[in-house]
Copies of this chain bind each other. A is one copy, B any other.
Amino acid sequence: MRVNGAQSDVIGVTDRGLQYGDGLFETIAVVNGQPCLWQVHMDRLQAGCSRLGIPMPDRDLLLAEARQEIGQQPRCVLKIIITRGVGGRGYRPPVETACSRILYSSPWPDYPAAAVKQGVKLRVCNTRLGSNPTLAGIKHLNRLEQVMAQAEWDDSAIAEGVMLDHDERVVEGTMSNLFVLQDGQLLTPDLSRCGTAGVMRGLVMDIAASLEIPVTVMDMKLDQLWEADALFLCNSLIGIWPVRQLEDRAYDLSAIPPILREAITAQGFVP
């Protein structure tokens, strides 16, 4: 673990990351010893820093520190946390920000091996996402909604929960983005009010475009999911998981174009 360049596994109690969740993070797959989609993760981190008014750390410095944390590990998860550091007066950010940067690796999660081929089972969460366009899309440290949503169920057969906003719009999974396949098109929820715009979501959209599969970003209700030909989830670690079942509705995994999955797998970062 590395905090502000030095080996450390602790951070000051007065850091605004702890005090207010005043910061951002990235969770990056490391495959064959390489951090996958590094530039895309850095672009999103930079966008988040810009939105929160936190100075973006130097990318080369982050990459050098990331490589030190990865070391000789062929596969692991790299987490980068950037906070607004110490200072300011109460909630008010300091005029000069010396942000804190934290990097560490952890073992690859033991996701169910069958998830990729046989699909996963989902539920609909009761916890709703609050709307906040100022914070929507970025991967900030205020994650209590996701914590409360995941605390709702304790059945390991259910891999993920779908989260809605307060107007009953479908937004995302607790730790993933969601795509609907309908009549050969991809649909995915608009994230301008709430939700996290995942790096893998962006990649899926890019790959779909290159395969000439139309993608529509839209306001979506649960009806759209019940009526879908197929659903899948994505994030930087799982790649894409087809959905076998959402509540009582079963889906046809074969409706997901194999070429889409192959194209994503071919990027080399999906297990």
Q: Name A residues whose Cβ lies closer than 8 Å to a Cβ of B.
A: 1, 3, 8-22, 25, 52-53, 81, 83-84, 89-93, 102, 104, 109, 127-135, 140-151, 166, 174-175, 194
Contact = CB atoms under 8 A, between A and B. Distances in A.
B128 A132 contact: yes
A147 B93 contact: yes
Given A92-B151, A143-B91, A150-B91, A131 B166 contact: yes
Given A11-B11, A20-B144, A53-B151, 9 more contacts: A3-B13, A16-B147, A20-B21, A20-B146, A91-B149, A92-B147, A92-B151, A93-B151, A130-B135
A20 B84 CA distance: 15
Nearest to A2: B13
A93 B143 CA distance: 12
Given A143-B20, A144-B22, A92 B150 contact: yes
Total identical chains: 2
A6 to B, nearest CB: 12
B20 A147 contact: yes
B135 A145 contact: yes
B175 A91 contact: yes
Contact of A10 (B10, B20, B81, B128): B10
A19 B141 contact: yes
A13 B102 CA distance: 8
A133 B129 CA distance: 10
A28 to B, nearest CB: 15
Contacts of A142: 20-21, 142-144
Contacts of A144: 20-22, 52, 135, 140-142
Give the one of A10, A13, A146, A148 with max B CB within 10 A: A13
Q: Which of A21, A135, A145, A166 has the most B CB atoms < 10 Å from its CB?
A: A21
Contact of A148 (B52, B83, B145, B146): B52
Contacts of A104: 13
Contact of A12 (B10, B132, B141): B10
Nearest to A21: B21
A134 B147 contact: no
26 contacts: A9-B12, A9-B13, A10-B10, A13-B81, A13-B102, A16-B147, A18-B83, A18-B141, A19-B81, A19-B143, A20-B21, A20-B141, A22-B143, A90-B109, A91-B149, A91-B174, A127-B132, A128-B131, A128-B132, A129-B132, A130-B135, A131-B166, A134-B148, A135-B145, A140-B144, A142-B142
Nearest to A15: B18
A238 B12 CA distance: 27
